[in-house]
Amino acid sequence: MKFLDLKEALKGYTLFSVQEIKKMDPTFHRRRLSEWQEKGYIKKIIRSYYVFSDVELDEPVLFEIANRIHQPSYIS
């Protein structure tokens, strides 16, 4: 899978996981994620979770990311 294909397929996602990529392309190799990180296309949030580098990490986005990683979550 090419990066532009991935970006188009996940254009509505703020955060995406390796499992979501593997659902679209079962032959996907994690090595590609490392290559894309080195090129600055994506950023690793935690193990198996990534965001595109052009996503602005403001407060609402960070809350969304936190909720996706650990559900249910809330801010008091």
What tens digit of pLDDT does each residue of 12-66 get? 888 999 999 999 999 999 999 999 999 999 999 999 999 999 999 899 888 888 8
Instruction: Provide the pLDDT for residue 71.
Output: 80
Domain CATH code at residue 42: 1.10.10
Q: Is there a contact between 18 and 24 (Cβ–Cβ < 8 Å)?
A: no
SS3 of 42, please?
strand
Q: Could you tell me if residue 17 is inside a domain?
A: yes
Confidence of residue 76 (pLDDT cuts 50, 70, 90): low
Looking at the DSSP bridge assignments, the partners of residue 50 are 16, 44
- Can you read off the two tokens belonging to residue 49? 């979770």
Rounded-to-integer distance, Cα 11 and Cα 75, Å: 27
Instruction: Provide the pLDDT for residue 70.
Output: 84
Enclosing domain of residue 10: 3-69
Instruction: Provide the pLDDT for residue 10.
Output: 93
In 4-76 the beta strands, taken as DSSP E runs, fall at 16-17, 42-46, 49-52
Q: Could you tell me if residue 75 is inside a domain?
A: no
Q: Could you tell me if residue 76 is inside a domain?
A: no
pTM for the model: 0.84
